[in-house]
Structure 1
Amino acid sequence: MDDGLSHNDITSIVQDKDGFMWFATRDGLNRYDGNKVKVYRHKVNGRIPFDVNYILSLCQDQGGTLWIGTKGISRYNAKGDSLEYFCQKTKEGNAPSDMIVSIKVNSDGWVYFLEKGTGVYCYKPKSNDFHFYPFKESGQEHTTFSATAMWIDGSNRVWLGGDKGRLFLLDQSSGRYHSMKIDCFKSLNDQLQVITGNEHFIYLGFQYSGIIRYDLDKKSFSFLTLGQDGGEMVFVHDILIDENILWVATEKGLLIYDETTKHTTRLMRDYFDPLSLSDNAIYAVYKDRDNGLWVGTYFGGINYVSLVQNRFIESYYPLVDKYSLKGKAVREICQDSVGNIWIGTEDAGLNCFDPVTKTMTPMDIGLDHYNVHGMKIIGDELYIGVFSGGLNIYNLKTKKIFHYYISDDRYNVDNSIYSICYDRRKRIWICTQGGVYWFDRSTGKFTPVKGLEEVYVHNICEDSAGNIWLASMGKSLICYTTGGEVVNYQETLYQKTGCIINRILSVYEDQEKRLWIGTSSYGLIYYNPAEGQFIRYSMSTGLPDDMTYKAIQDNLGNIWVGTNRGLVRINPSTNNVRVFTKSDGLLTNQFNYNSAFRDMQNRLYFGTIEGLSVVDPSEIKEDLSFPPVFLTGFQLYNREMYPGKGSPLEQSITCTKNWN
């Protein structure tokens, strides 16, 4: 509900012909457009039942109408962008008044509604015919039964199940139901929850007996052994058939059953892992047209995972009871000579990551502060700048740590080090909130750099010519030339971009000797010193946000940069921009300062506010498909417009094709 759902109990899921995802809940219908959720509810009146917003089933017919099973039948009016109650009656005067627990459509486009405890209604949209088939067994004039689940096979046969331990088949010519006894119950008086199937089998999901399979060729029932223990009671809510895999929604997590190997895998909520399922009570499971899996829960809303997602992103984050990354706000990243990746966080100090074994080790080495703001490997030593803690130097061989302070006042801004650089002239640059210094390792002394006193430098970079570029917070972009001249680029940036840019977050030189300048609110600036060319990449050119942290180039020539709304990849040759977000597997869309690094194996490391994301650019598969674009909202003078009196819309904005 925190993300806009009307209720966290998801009872049914469907994707419509336009690609929108619809979620049924106990308090209204929800539509997800890939960006936000819109909630639809009936306005209860004398004609509409009080609990009409308690929705149990959804189905879209061949004409595109979305049918809604509640207390009675509703449907979504796309032109009016609203719900309407289906009040039609059969010729005999019958109309559903109880809960519609299942809705299915056959190949002829006929829509079937299962009313719990009463019967099946059939609506034919083309002829507007409406029929009712009450629950009466064939050959039994007065015997009735109750059905709770329905499925239609490829031959348009309607199968039902419920009480009395029987599977029923509707004979529409006679209006009666033929039954067959299920002979392998695990629990007497069990309740059927779901029916589904394919050309070979019908799968019946029960409250206590798990799944019973009916062989359509052999006409026999068999029990499927689910769970870790064959004797375990499995409460099944829903079943999704995905070739030879069954995705089974249960009260104890999501089961993945392989029909070939007979092996079961259980996915459950891990209370210490934010990327696990949000709840163990799974009520609905659905696969969309892009092979995305949607899992509806009782308390935890919707979960999503792509079944064909490019596995190019690895995530590392804190797990309370496991050996994992310590700290969430990852900032500094560097690699030592033996290949270890050192990770500095702003909330829990230092970590060491082995990229071969993929093991993360928190390092308690005696830092002066847990907030790491700058890091650099120089020989066998790891230079670490910490907030208000000066310069900490850790010897990777002896495991000893040394502490150096610019100011005797520990809490002076000079002791907050933000970036460190080791240039080709063997000068060690220390950038602080209160100015830039050279550090002499032999004496432990700090010398202010003339012309850069009291300049707050956030990031530093040496280019291929030996110039030092400084990203300043307040003084814009600064170049300390090989001749010792200090050149400020604020006026040049203004002339080339038309923007007054004085808050520079980072500067990076790529293999083609071009500079990439991250800014606080003006996007990413490309600067080619050889040609004097500037290009500004911003939201107007495809970036999701104008806050760009630190750029890095991959081995394919692309430029990557983190923002507050995703990870951006830019092809400098074509200016093509692609944005990666949480839907691609990222921990979060919000990245962090100074936190981009490329290792010896060409993997890219990015720090976020939720942990570390590692990207392998060579594993990315390009998606050349283009999803359809729909307008989902229209505002006039900051007011949302809906079809009706006083609105320029004659129908919903999504259905509007022309504007008169």
Structure 2
Amino acid sequence: MFVFPYFSFGQTPVSIHLTEKDGLPDIEFYDMLEDRKGFIWFAADKGLFRYDGKEFKSYNNSSKKGLSVFELFEDEKGRIWCTNISGQFFYVENDKLHTFIDVSDHLKGALADYKIVNNALIIFTPRQIIKVSLLDSSQEIISQKGRNVIGFPFSVPSGILFREERVIFKLDFKFKKTTIADATALIEDLTSKNAIPTKKTTIFQVGEKLYFFHTINEENIFYKLSRKSKTLQKTSTPEILKSCLITRVIELNDKLWFLTSTGAHVFKKTNNELLYEQTYLSNEFVTKVVIDKDNNYWLSTLRNGVFVITNIYIENYNLQKSVSNVSALEKIDEQSFAFGTIRGDIGMYDLHTNDIKILKSSSTSKVSSLSYNTHYHKLLISHDTDAYELDKKTGIFGSRLNGVGAKDLVIRGRDTLLIVGGDKSYLVARNNLEKKTVFTHTLTKKRAYAGFYDKASKHTYIATIDNLIQYDRKLMVHKVTHNGIPILGKQMTQTSDGVLWVSTFKDGVFGIRGNQVIEHFSTDNGLVVNEVVAIISDQNNLWIATDKGIQLINRTTGTIKTLTKRDGIPSYKISGMIVFEDHIVCASNVGIFSIDKQKAFYSRPLPELYFTAIKIADKDTVYKPNYKLAHDQNSVRLDFRANSFQSTEHIIYEYKLNAESFISLDKGVDYLDLKNLKNGIYKLKLRAKNRYNNEVSPEQDISFIIALPFWEQWWFILLVLLCVALIVYFYVRSIIAKRKRLQLIEVKQLQQNNRLTSLKLENLRSQMNPHFIFNALNSIQEYIVLNQKDLASDYLGKFADLVRKYLNHSSKGSITLREEIDCLQMYLELEKLRFEDTLMFSITVDNALDAYEIKIPTMLVQPYVENAIKHGLLHKKYERQLTIIFKPSKAKNTIQCQIIDNGVGRQKAAEIKNNRNPAHTSFATKATNNRLQLINLNRDYKVGVYIKDLKDIDDNALGTEVTIEIPYKN
């Protein structure tokens, strides 16, 4: 049954030890389970806990007796079950722990095993099998014995197997018992060795074969079921499993895991046989192992917390603690390698036997470089303060070398060594028979980091502090550059196709043939960073170590794979790498570890993001994909997780809110707090992202519609506008009504005033017209008396035309300026006839005035012209001159009329008037003044009349100037 090719603990997988310092709630665990959502559940001495990748949550209730719980199980509904030593059974639903049943009366303080099948809880006590309905909690005893004879139950596709006294039974899903085998041999062993019969029988399966084991006097005895005789027959027990306490047997990935007090022993199934493969945590009491959805291996222990193996194909070499900080690494052959430490120790490791030899040299300074000379089977060793040879066969340190503190030792032929030093690089040729140096040749005196010798081309390469230098066969110097820029190399290796690969401090990796760059790898085409700390070739592929991971470049496919701490890499401080047939060995500050070249790379499922809490306006709410929120619910907090081991270390969260690109949250931040959101539609997208390989989870979408406050919504604004409109309407209506009433009063008053004014104007015109007629008739009478018939006839004709004009204008309130000028022209021509051509007049109109469009009050100018003739020019004998000028005024919509005469002046005219008739009052003057007052009534712009006496320097009268400011309208 059990096959052991060899047994060794030379290598162990890299594991992460979780204790109470890491937030683990306990160190004593009895069971562990991953549920369908990716949560890890722990049954511990301090109770039931759930891990979500970041935090541990405790589950308890008031009816629970004690703290400890055992035996975790997930049913078809996703409920998590457990039990305690007090006989209580619990389940977790809706994130709360519920007590299902208490059967302490049946258990008598013993811990029961149980199975859940077909809506029933099947409890296996030492003396009874009890069926409890999950629907109504009704109980039924299926089997009952007088002694503690019932063993551990074991699930098979058709039911549950268990031992009851001397018989192996199967309980099918209809809860009927059928006999499977006779267990008399097991009972006889118990009896013959006086074993305590309370030990339970454990059942497990290998292929189609059933196996049983029982602990008899602290020794594990294995049995197998004979299909022919249907009896248990004793079989061989693996030495590693004989005396340990076995707590469980679990099948995972076609392998059987025996969880024991001496670790987890793994056996691989091969042709119905078990082949020993590996032991994990040999110094721990392992109680359960779980492989989670990310292929992490969780191992709980009874006394020392939990261990997590993130990659079982990356293993540590079990070195002494004193040699953990490895500074140099060199391959000897396919079965061994050498290493050096910062303390100066030299180690030899045999991969076949896992034997380690630590050789103490005379130097205690750091080993800076190792190089193996296959011709003489000697290991060349350079310390910071010394350099010498080590004979691999004898293990004896030999003669000293010149390469003290060398950064690199390069075998350049059978007897020639290239020493790359901190201050210079040089060739050393030795006569190994005489053990002495033949010659030394310095290549460069610059600080250098690495060297390489191409055996095919016989070219030598040295990476100095400022250049990569190629030396041809004749040691002629050629600088290797990339686009004219020096290459600052750090390490060098060569693939099987002859390409030299140079790692750099900040520019990635260059592939060089001769002295030309033919390939270049950087962050632009797959490297995680451009600073490469170590490089090694593997056929035509490359292994590259950086401070963010170890990468494999497959030059055939052009793909790049990456291993990070998330994948089990224990450290990024890599000091060297060597390649073997199926694995790669890496030296680091935490020791030496190996990577399985084929199996270490495996895809992990994408992280799945889910919401742990949603708060709206600081109140917890249920998750929904869409929310319609009031205006005062504009603060939203989202808490989320991705169930993955140490998610805070390797997962970051990204979101975008009504944007085109995602925004990354800080490391460890697993919530989003949106405050003071304005009204509108918000579409939020969230996703989880792996920090190391940029893989992202499916997006979680949530939309928020935040309403406007009611006072900003259209219906409220419309209502307010309507109310305002109504108020304005009624207010305006009242104002209009009031104004209409006032306007009616004003209109009536204006009508009365206009009627009165019109009557007065008509009356004045009727008075003025006879006065003018009287004067004109006097002139005609004078012509007749003087027997001047022609003049009288001519005068009478013109007078008739003028009277017709006046009659036509007498009914109008205003006439055009042209009509006024025409009347003045006719009037002055009559006056000129009366004065027998001793009157000279002129009427001038400014070109800026449109005489045909401008309207002025009727007969406004004529009375002033008449006064100028009657009072000023009449008393002058000769050269009577009258000038009338119409021009624009400075005031808006006003014209100015100037009437200028060269008469005797107002003073002389007054004296003549007083001498003739002192008591006479001029009707024309009074009528003109009254008419002017009526015209100016209710006008914004008044008609103004200004009279100026014209005099010479001796104060003699030269005439009179009358200026009339006349408002007009078009």
Q: TM-score normalised by the shorter chain: which range applies?
A: 0.5 to 0.7
Which residue is 1:374 aligned to? Answer: 369
Which residue is 2:534 aligned to? Answer: 550
Which residue is 2:137 aligned to? Answer: 131
Which residue is 2:574 aligned to? Answer: 592
The answer to whether structure 1 residue 58 and structure 2 residue 42 are counterparts is no
C-alpha change, 1:276 and 1:221, in structure 2 (3 Å) is: closer
C-alpha change, 1:372 and 1:339, in structure 2 (3 Å) is: same
**In the alignment, is the contact (CA less than 8 A) between 1:24 and 1:55 conserved in 2?**
yes
Worse-superposed segment, 145-154 or 344-353 = 145-154
Task: Write the distance in 1 (CA, Å) between the matches of 2:336 and 2:288.
Answer: 43
Task: Write the distance in 1 (CA, Å) between the matches of 2:175 and 2:470.
Answer: 91
Which residue is 2:302 aligned to? Answer: 298
C-alpha change, 1:489 and 1:303, in structure 2 (3 Å) is: same
**In the alignment, is the contact (CA less than 8 A) between 2:246 and 2:258 conserved in 1?**
yes
For 2:330, the aligned partner's letter is I
* Alignment partner of 1:155 out of 153, 158, 166: 158
* Alignment partner of 1:541 out of 499, 503, 526: 526
Give the drift of 1:73.
Answer: 1.7
Give the drift of 1:85.
Answer: 1.0
Task: Write the distance in 2 (CA, Å) between the matches of 1:583 and 1:205.
Answer: 40
CA distances 1:478-529 after superposition (whole Å, capped 9, x unpaired): 32444654748598669xxxxxx96x53122323343433345765455667
C-alpha change, 1:604 and 1:172, in structure 2 (3 Å) is: closer
Give the drift of 1:391.
Answer: 3.1
C-alpha change, 1:539 and 1:157, in structure 2 (3 Å) is: farther
The answer to whether structure 1 residue 479 and structure 2 residue 469 are counterparts is yes
**In the alignment, is the contact (CA less than 8 A) between 1:368 and 1:386 conserved in 2?**
no
> The residue matched to 2:58 in structure 1 has which SS?
coil
Q: For CA contacts below 8 A with separation 6 or more, give which structure has more relative contact order.
A: 1
The within-5 A match list for 1:52-201 is 54-69=68-83, 72-75=89-92, 83-87=95-99, 102=113, 104-106=115-117, 108=118, 122=132, 129-133=135-139, 137=143, 149-157=152-160, 159=162, 183-184=187-188, 185=190, 187-192=195-200, 201=210
Ranges in structure 1 where 5+ consecutive residues have no aligned partner: 78-82, 269-274, 407-414, 495-500
Which residue is 1:318 aligned to? Answer: 319
C-alpha change, 1:477 and 1:287, in structure 2 (3 Å) is: same
Task: Write the distance in 1 (CA, Å) between the matches of 2:58 and 2:674.
Answer: 19
Task: Write the distance in 1 (CA, Å) between the matches of 2:143 and 2:379.
Answer: 81
The answer to whether structure 1 residue 578 and structure 2 residue 575 are counterparts is no
Give the drift of 1:606.
Answer: 3.8
Task: Write the distance in 2 (CA, Å) between the matches of 1:236 and 1:327.
Answer: 33
Which residue is 1:384 aligned to? Answer: 380
The answer to whether structure 1 residue 41 and structure 2 residue 57 are counterparts is yes
> The residue matched to 1:131 in structure 2 has which SS?
coil
The answer to whether structure 1 residue 14 and structure 2 residue 33 are counterparts is yes
Give the drift of 1:345.
Answer: 3.9
The within-5 A match list for 1:389-428 is 389-394=385-390, 401-404=398-401, 415-423=404-412, 428=417
Task: Write the distance in 1 (CA, Å) between the matches of 2:163 and 2:296.
Answer: 28
Task: Write the distance in 1 (CA, Å) between the matches of 2:152 and 2:352.
Answer: 50
Give the drift of 1:571.
Answer: 0.5
Task: Write the distance in 2 (CA, Å) between the matches of 1:239 and 1:616.
Answer: 27
Task: Write the distance in 2 (CA, Å) between the matches of 1:643 and 1:123.
Answer: 44
Give the drift of 1:558.
Answer: 1.6
**In the alignment, is the contact (CA less than 8 A) between 2:33 and 2:42 conserved in 1?**
yes
**In the alignment, is the contact (CA less than 8 A) between 2:326 and 2:339 conserved in 1?**
no
C-alpha change, 1:384 and 1:109, in structure 2 (3 Å) is: farther
The answer to whether structure 1 residue 459 and structure 2 residue 450 are counterparts is yes
Worse-superposed segment, 5-14 or 377-386 = 377-386
C-alpha change, 1:122 and 1:446, in structure 2 (3 Å) is: farther
Give the drift of 1:459.
Answer: 1.9
**In the alignment, is the contact (CA less than 8 A) between 2:510 and 2:517 conserved in 1?**
no
The within-5 A match list for 1:245-284 is 247-252=257-262, 277-284=281-288
Task: Write the distance in 2 (CA, Å) between the matches of 1:44 and 1:213.
Answer: 41
Task: Write the distance in 1 (CA, Å) between the matches of 2:327 and 2:285.
Answer: 33
Task: Write the distance in 2 (CA, Å) between the matches of 1:304 and 1:235.
Answer: 22
Task: Write the distance in 2 (CA, Å) between the matches of 1:202 and 1:227.
Answer: 13
C-alpha change, 1:638 and 1:423, in structure 2 (3 Å) is: closer
Give the drift of 1:597.
Answer: 3.8
Give aligned pairs, total. 594
Give the drift of 1:559.
Answer: 1.2
Task: Write the distance in 1 (CA, Å) between the matches of 2:262 and 2:459.
Answer: 61
* Alignment partner of 1:511 out of 490, 496, 503: 496
Task: Write the distance in 1 (CA, Å) between the matches of 2:354 and 2:461.
Answer: 34
Worse-superposed segment, 628-637 or 571-580 = 628-637
CA distances 1:268-298 after superposition (whole Å, capped 9, x unpaired): 9xxxxxx852435332356789999765432
* Alignment partner of 1:436 out of 410, 419, 425: 425
For 1:392, the aligned partner's letter is Y
**In the alignment, is the contact (CA less than 8 A) between 1:476 and 1:489 conserved in 2?**
no
Ranges in structure 2 where 5+ consecutive residues have no aligned partner: 1-16, 431-435, 610-641, 654-664, 676-682, 689-696, 704-970
Which residue is 1:240 aligned to? Answer: 250
* Alignment partner of 2:608 out of 616, 626, 630: 630
TM-score with structure 2 setting the length: 0.48
Task: Write the distance in 1 (CA, Å) between the matches of 2:260 and 2:72.
Answer: 20
Task: Write the distance in 1 (CA, Å) between the matches of 2:133 and 2:671.
Answer: 30
Task: Write the distance in 2 (CA, Å) between the matches of 1:243 and 1:638.
Answer: 34
Identity among equivalent positions (%) equals 15
Task: Write the distance in 1 (CA, Å) between the matches of 2:149 and 2:156.
Answer: 21
C-alpha change, 1:524 and 1:11, in structure 2 (3 Å) is: farther
C-alpha change, 1:330 and 1:111, in structure 2 (3 Å) is: farther
Give the drift of 1:58.
Answer: 1.9
Give the drift of 1:144.
Answer: 11
C-alpha change, 1:369 and 1:625, in structure 2 (3 Å) is: closer
Task: Write the distance in 2 (CA, Å) between the matches of 1:229 and 1:487.
Answer: 62
Task: Write the distance in 2 (CA, Å) between the matches of 1:284 and 1:121.
Answer: 27
**In the alignment, is the contact (CA less than 8 A) between 1:552 and 1:596 conserved in 2?**
yes
**In the alignment, is the contact (CA less than 8 A) between 1:157 and 1:170 conserved in 2?**
yes
CA distances 1:20-42 after superposition (whole Å, capped 9, x unpaired): 76554334667789xxx544322
> The residue matched to 2:18 in structure 1 has which SS?
coil
For 1:630, the aligned partner's letter is E
Task: Write the distance in 2 (CA, Å) between the matches of 1:536 and 1:383.
Answer: 33
Q: Which has the higher helix share?
A: 2
CA distances 1:121-179 after superposition (whole Å, capped 9, x unpaired): 7565xxxx2434366855x9xx8989885444433358587xx999898799899999x
**In the alignment, is the contact (CA less than 8 A) between 2:508 and 2:527 conserved in 1?**
no
CA distances 1:546-590 after superposition (whole Å, capped 9, x unpaired): 6633322223x2212344566432102333123457999x89454
Task: Write the distance in 2 (CA, Å) between the matches of 1:425 and 1:197.
Answer: 59
Give the drift of 1:190.
Answer: 1.9
C-alpha change, 1:461 and 1:103, in structure 2 (3 Å) is: farther
**In the alignment, is the contact (CA less than 8 A) between 2:50 and 2:57 conserved in 1?**
no
Task: Write the distance in 1 (CA, Å) between the matches of 2:66 and 2:672.
Answer: 26
The answer to whether structure 1 residue 560 and structure 2 residue 543 are counterparts is yes
Task: Write the distance in 2 (CA, Å) between the matches of 1:623 and 1:375.
Answer: 29
Task: Write the distance in 1 (CA, Å) between the matches of 2:698 and 2:63.
Answer: 26
C-alpha change, 1:103 and 1:547, in structure 2 (3 Å) is: farther
Q: RMSD across aligned C-alpha pairs, in angstroms?
A: 6.0
Task: Write the distance in 1 (CA, Å) between the matches of 2:367 and 2:525.
Answer: 34
Task: Write the distance in 2 (CA, Å) between the matches of 1:64 and 1:144.
Answer: 36
